[in-house]
Chain A
C-alpha cells in the first residue's frame, strides 16, 4: 500500500501513547479484578502473596511487557524472516502437548498445558501468534501470486494444521479463533473474491451441517464431538439433554442427564446473574455477592468469567468502559495497519487486531449469553500466563509495525 506523502513528511511520534495507555489500563483492571475474583476462596487467600493469582498474573504481565518491548526492538521485517521457524516450533509444541506425560490437563479433562515446573505454558496461545506471523509472511507475496489457487489452499492448510491439533486437545474455543483471523488476513491480503465467497459458503455450510448434526441427527449419525462440546451447544440453544439420551435410557440415566444439565447451565446462569445484577453502577470493587457467596464458580471466575466479575462490581458503566478500552486498542491497531509501510506489516497488524477482537467478542458474548460457552480468555483481563504473555507480545509486534512504518 502506498503511504500518503503528508504522513511521511510530518514528524511522527515514536510511541503510540494512546495504545500504551489503553493497554496499561486494561492490564491494571485485570489485576484488580483477578484479586477481587479470588477473594471468595479461603484456600487461596491463605497462601503467601507470591502464590496468589493476582501476583502471579502481575509477574506474567511484567514479563509480557518486557517481551513486548523486545518485540518492538527488532524491525518486524527482519523478525518475520523466522516466522516459519516460529510457526513450526508452535506446531511441535501442539504435538507435544497431546503426548501424555508431556501435556497435562490440570485435572480439567483437556490436555492444554505443558508443565515447566514452577509454571505451565499453553501452546495454543503461542500457536495463535505463530499462525499470524506465518500467514503474514506467506500472504505478503506479490498480489498476482495470490490469484493462484495453490497459494489460497496453502494458506488454508497453514491454518488447518494447528486448528486440528488444538481441536484434539480439545480446546474448541482457541481453535475457532483461528478462523476469523485467517479469513481477515486473506481478505486484507487481496485474495480474489471468488475464493473468499466459496470459502464463506463452505464455512457456512459446514457450520450449519455441524449444528444440524449435533442437535438434530439420530445418535449414530452424529459427529464424534467431545461430550462437553455437545453439551455446551445444547446449553446455548436451551435444549433438553434428555432428548439426546440413548434410545433405551433407564430413568436413572435420564435423571443423571437432567442433573448434568442443571450443572452445565449453572455457570452460564450464574455469569448472567452476575452481569445483570450489576445494574448501572455495580456493587463496588470486591463487593460482588456472586463471588463472596461462591455462586459464580471459583474455578472460572478469575479466568473465563472475569468479565462478569467486572460487570457485577462496576455495573454497565464499568463494563462499557472495558468495551470502550478494547475499542480504543482495536482502533489504534487498525490505524497502525493502515499506516504500515508494507503489506507484511499490514497483514501482521490485521492478524493481531482480529485475534484480539475475536477473543473479546467471543468471551464477552458468552458472558452475556449471546454466544455459547467456549474456553476463550478475555485478552489482558483473564488470568492465564500464556494468554497475557502472547497478547502483550502481539501488541508489541503491532507497535513494531507502527514504529517501523517509515524505514
Chain B
C-alpha cells in the first residue's frame, strides 16, 4: 500500500507494529470466515432450533357411517376459550413490579436485607398466576359459568407449553360462544379456539362395534417423531375405532411457532397441513340396530337386572351384519376427553362386563339350537326318517349318564321333536349318526374357528375335532358316548358365539352357503370428488358350502317354521303377524360340577320363510328360557323389518 511506503524506510519497531496489527486483523477475518462461512449453517440451525417450537396438529378423524350413509361417529367443532400468554406478559411484569416493590420494602423494614433471587422468582410466579387467574375468572363471569384456574395447571402450562394458548374454559356451549363473539371487549389475551371433537350422536348405539377412543398424543408410524408440543389427540382403542385407527386417524400436521427468548409466541405458521382421515362405511343398519338394542334391553327387565345378551342380524344372501348388538353397553362419548374413575369402575363390573362384546367375544353353550346341526348330521347320515315315530322316555340314558328332557314322554316324529326340543329324540338319532357326522357339519359351519371381524373382539368358541379327541386320549382322557350325547343337544364340549350361530342360521336359510360375516363395506376418503379416489372395498365373501342335500335343509327350515308358528311350539312368541319366520329356541345349562349355576337362552331365526333374507340370533345370559326371553326380541326385530318392507320395499333391499 502506498500509504505504508514510509514504513519501508527502516523504522523497524513501526514495521513490527504494522506486522502485528495486520496479523491481528487477519486473525479476526479468519475467525469471522470460519464462524460465518464455514460454520455459518450450524449456527443458523442453532438459531432456528432455539427459536422454533414444532406443534403436532392432529388430523380430523374420519367418520363411521352405516350402510345407508347414516352417521354413527363424526366430529363436531368444540369451542374452547383460551388465553394467549404472550398478550399477558406486559401485565405479568407490571404486577411483578408492584409485588416486588411492596415486598422489598417490607423485607427491608423488617429484616434489613434485600430480596433474594429465589424470593424474586417466587414473586414473579405469584404475579403471573394472579394475572392469569384474574383473567380466567373474568372470563367465567362473562360466560356465566364459574371458571377457575388451578395454580398447578397454570404453572405447568407456563413452564412447559408457554408458546401455546392456555385452555381456560373447555367446550363452550353455543350460548357462550355467542356471548364471546358478541362481546367486543374481551378480557386481555382471551380468544376462541376451535378443535374437532369426536361425537357419537346415538350414544351407546352399536358401542361395541364402534369402540372408543383414548387420549394419546404420541406420534404414529411414518410421522415426524419429535415435536415440542402436541395438541390433544386420540387413538382408537377397540372396535372399528381401534382396528381402523390408522385409516380413520389421517395424518397429523406440523405447525411451527416462533418464540422469543422468554418462550412466548411471536408468530406461527403451518409447515405441513394435517390430512383428514378416511370414512369407514359399515354394513350395519342403524334403525334395525336401535330396534334390536331396545328389544334386547327389555328382554331381561323382569329380572330387575340389566340384560346381558347379544343380538346379531345377518343378511343371509350377502353375509352383511345388519345388527351387532351387545348388552349392557357403554357410551363411547363418556371416554372424551377422558373417562371419570367412577364411571370406569362401573364399566369394570365383573358381572355385567359392559366392555365385552357378547355377540363375538364370548363363548356360550348353544344348547338346543345346536339340534339343527344334529338334525342335519342325522339326515345326511341317512339314519333319520322324519316321519319315523320315536318313543321318548322323558329322559335319555347313555351308558351310565342320564340326561333329563323337558319334552314330555310319548311318540315323536321329527317335526314334533324339533318344535318341542326333545333331548331324547336328538340324542337317539345323533348317536346313531355318530360323532363324526356331527363334527363334519360343525366344521363345515366353521365352528371353533376364530372369525376375524374388524372390531378386535373375536372369539372362535370351541368345537372338538378328531385330532383334539385323539390328543386327549393320549393323555388318558377318553371321549365317552355321554360326551357325544351332550354334543347332540348342544351341551358339553361345544361353545359358540352368537355371530357363529348367525352364520349357521344364514346357511340353513340360504340353501347351504356358508358366508363370511361382513361388517365393513368400504373405506372411502372424507371428500368424494370422483377423481380416482382411493376407495377400499370389502366385498362379501363365501366361506364354504355346507354340502347338505337341499331337501334336508328344507326339512329343517320347515321344522323351524313349525317351531314359531305352531301354538304348542317353544318359539311361538317370535311369531309376527304377516311375516313368516322359522326359528329354534335354546336354553343351555351352565353347570359347575352337578350344580346348575346359570342358563344361556337362545333364539335363532330366519325370515321371511318364503324367500329368506334375514338371520336373527338372540342370546340372553341368565334368561328364563329361549322361547320366553329371546323369541320376543326376535319378534320385535322382524316386526320392524315387516313394517319397513311394507312401507318402502325397495329401501330394504339388501345389497346382493
Contact = CB atoms under 8 A, between A and B. Distances in A.
B24 A357 contact: yes
B14 A337 contact: yes
Given A275-B43, A326-B25, A332 B3 contact: yes
Nearest to B50: A295
Interface in A310-368: 311, 315-316, 319-320, 323, 326-327, 330-332, 334-335, 337-339, 346, 350, 353-354, 357, 360-361, 364-365, 368
A4 B50 CA distance: 60
Interface string B18-51: 1001101101110111111101111110110011
Given A18-B3, A294-B262, A316-B37, A277 B31 contact: no
A187 interface: yes
Nearest to A368: B31
A370 B31 contact: yes
A293 interface: yes
Nearest to A294: B261
Contacts of A368: 28, 31-32, 34-35
B4 interface: yes
A279 interface: yes
B4 A294 contact: no
B51 A276 contact: no
A357 B34 CA distance: 21
B259 interface: yes
A365 B258 CA distance: 30
B36 A338 contact: no
A84 interface: no
A293 B46 contact: no
Given A184-B17, A295-B261, A275 B51 contact: no
A272 interface: yes
Given A276-B40, A276-B42, A293-B259, A334 B28 contact: no
Interface residues of B, number: 42
Contacts, number: 137
Contacts of A280: 36-37, 40
Given A294-B262, A338-B9, A330 B14 contact: no
Interface string A240-252: 0000000000000
Interface extent on A, as a size class? 35 or more
A295 B262 CA distance: 8
B14 A338 contact: yes
Contacts of B18: 331, 334
B4 A320 contact: no
B33 A293 contact: no
B31 A187 contact: no
Contacts of B4: 331, 334-335
Given A273-B43, A335-B3, A323 B51 contact: no
A279 B44 contact: yes
A339 B6 contact: yes
Given A338-B6, A365-B28, A188 B36 contact: no
Contact of A276 (B3, B16, B21, B36): B36
A292 to B, nearest CB: 8
Given A18-B3, A188-B14, A339-B6, A293 B32 contact: no
Nearest to A259: B117
B36 A354 contact: no
Contact of B11 (A272, A277, A290, A338): A338
B53 to A, nearest CB: 12
A171 B4 CA distance: 35
Q: Which 5 A-B pairs have the closest CB atoms?
A: A276-B43, A338-B6, A294-B261, A316-B36, A293-B260
